[in-house]
């Protein structure tokens, strides 16, 4: 009897221990998973306060989506947008991943309007933020922009509003106010594109006629371009040909476009980059580097400055700029400098798989056509936030954008110039060309395509 009691007691103790162990095991697993999730967010770069903010706005499934992307402050800004809708959260992040320079407002606006697949660029940002923008005309703005990408946001909004106010829905939208002029701006003391365009527009409209193509004397067309700033004699035939199909454009704008090769076919009408130009060689959708090309004097970037490799002269210039920035309490960080042909191949192919060729070509170079292969270009972040997508909102960007030229760097893909450079606005991408040339490009607000064709080719 005593033995039975002991066995029963022993079984009870064992059962209790099993239940006790299982209870703590399940509790431990639950706590581990809960803690692991917070830890992963922290490892992504989110602070304790930011993690709490994410949790207060998002359900678990959307919190898990956050972990699929690198840390970006813009994600938190999206959550606080007035029109934020959690059901579209995954679309917001996909949009942000494709266009890391997009603002949180723009991301929410376009996704909420069912335009998550739109090819976003700074022009669209300027349009929807224009003081006279009317949301009910959104489709008209987008259609008009697609047909007239040479126009700036101001003219697009005014033209559409004017046409809509005529209350003739069947009327075809047409440019308002005569010729289309260049979007370029420059200092008032420079003989800029903008000033040249204004003069050429008034001169051409008052001194020349607009005859039918077959009636236009060759010398009359030629006269439109003679004496214009940045006119290149060897391109005269191309100017004339482009004029015949773009008579609405000023002579200066035609010169700007042809000098930038946009009358040619990207990735088809190509030429090998002239390595004899040294640090001034050009690489874009019309000039390429051989797959075996590697810069001869690459140096490793110090970890406090960033990572990767740059040509020595470009890195020395960056160090000079960095040291002056530090005096202002700013810390620019080299995030993506030199890239090999093979690396660019992998990168571009991944983008194509994700977004398709047409979309990928707006923000990524095909292998051999990337400026990063020169060792003279770099994408910047900050030491506190390596994300290039957040660079534009940093104090470092404000300082670098105003001072980079003093050290020989240019903003390679500026706003409102994507139709010339072939790439969307990239506030993080800087290219070394030397102080003298950088100063000229900065003060005259032109692209490297324009400078190279007129001064270097």
Catalytically active residues are: 426
Rg (alpha carbons) of the chain, rounded to whole number: 28
Q: Nearest-CA neighbor of 301 among 263, 332, 257, 262? A: 332
Beta pairing partners, 430: 378, 411
Identify the helix (H) or strand (E) that includes residue 23.
Answer: helix 2-43
CB 450 within 8 A of CB 259: yes
The total of other beta-carbon atoms located within 10 Å of residue 251's CB is 26
Residues β-bridged to residue 333: 381
Q: Which two tokens stand for residue 187?
A: 């200092």
Q: Which two tokens stand for residue 256?
A: 């700007």
Q: Are the beta carbons of 400 and 380 closer than 8 angstroms?
A: yes
Residue 101's SS3 state is coil
Strands 429-432 and 377-382, sheet pairing: antiparallel
SS3 of residue 334 by DSSP: strand
Distance CA 440, CA 167 (A): 47
Nearest Cα neighbor of 383 from 395, 373, 371 is 395
């Amino acid at each position: 009897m005593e033995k039975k009691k002991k066995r029963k007691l022993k079984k009870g103790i064992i059962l209790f221990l099993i239940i006790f162990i299982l209870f703590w095991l399940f509790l431990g697993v639950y706590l581990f998973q809960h803690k692991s999730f917070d830890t992963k967010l922290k490892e992504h770069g989110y602070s304790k306060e930011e993690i709490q903010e994410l949790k207060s706005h998002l359900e678990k499934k959307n919190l898990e989506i956050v972990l699929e992307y690198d840390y970006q402050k813009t994600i938190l800004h999206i959550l606080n947008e007035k029109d934020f809708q959690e059901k579209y959260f995954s679309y917001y992040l996909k949009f942000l991943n494709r266009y890391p320079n997009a603002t949180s407002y723009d991301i929410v606006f376009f996704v909420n309007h069912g335009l998550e697949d739109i090819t976003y660029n700074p022009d669209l940002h300027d349009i929807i933020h224009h003081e006279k923008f009317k949301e009910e005309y959104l489709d008209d703005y987008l259609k008009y922009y697609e047909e007239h990408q040479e126009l700036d946001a101001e003219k697009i909004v005014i033209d559409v509003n004017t046409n809509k106010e005529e209350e003739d829905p069947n009327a075809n939208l047409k440019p308002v106010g005569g010729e289309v002029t260049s979007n370029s701006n420059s200092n008032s003391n420079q003989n800029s594109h903008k000033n040249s365009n204004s003069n050429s527009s008034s001169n051409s409209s008052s001194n020349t006629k607009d005859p039918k193509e077959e009636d236009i004397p060759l010398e009359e067309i030629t006269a439109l371009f003679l004496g214009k700033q940045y006119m290149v004699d060897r391109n005269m035939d191309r100017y004339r040909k482009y004029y015949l199909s773009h008579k609405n454009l000023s002579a200066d704008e035609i010169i700007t476009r042809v000098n930038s090769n946009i009358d040619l076919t990207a990735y088809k009408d190509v030429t090998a980059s002239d390595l004899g130009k040294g640090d001034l060689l050009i690489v874009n959708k019309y000039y390429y580097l051989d797959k075996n090309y590697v810069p001869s004097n690459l140096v490793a970037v110090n970890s406090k400055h960033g990572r990767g490799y740059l040509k020595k002269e470009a890195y020395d210039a960056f160090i000079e700029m960095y040291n002056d920035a530090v005096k202002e309490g700013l810390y620019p960080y080299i995030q993506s400098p030199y890239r090999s042909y093979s690396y660019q191949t992998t990168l571009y192919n991944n983008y194509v798989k994700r977004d398709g060729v047409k979309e990928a070509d707006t923000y990524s170079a095909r292998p051999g056509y990337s400026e990063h292969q020169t060792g003279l270009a770099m994408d910047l972040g900050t030491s506190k936030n390596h994300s290039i997508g957040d660079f534009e909102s940093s104090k470092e960007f404000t300082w670098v954008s105003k001072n980079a030229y003093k050290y020989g760097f240019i903003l390679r893909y500026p706003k409102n110039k994507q139709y010339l450079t072939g790439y969307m606005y990239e506030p993080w991408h800087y290219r070394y060309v030397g102080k003298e040339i950088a100063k000229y490009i900065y003060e005259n607000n032109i692209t490297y395509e324009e400078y190279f064709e007129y001064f270097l080719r």
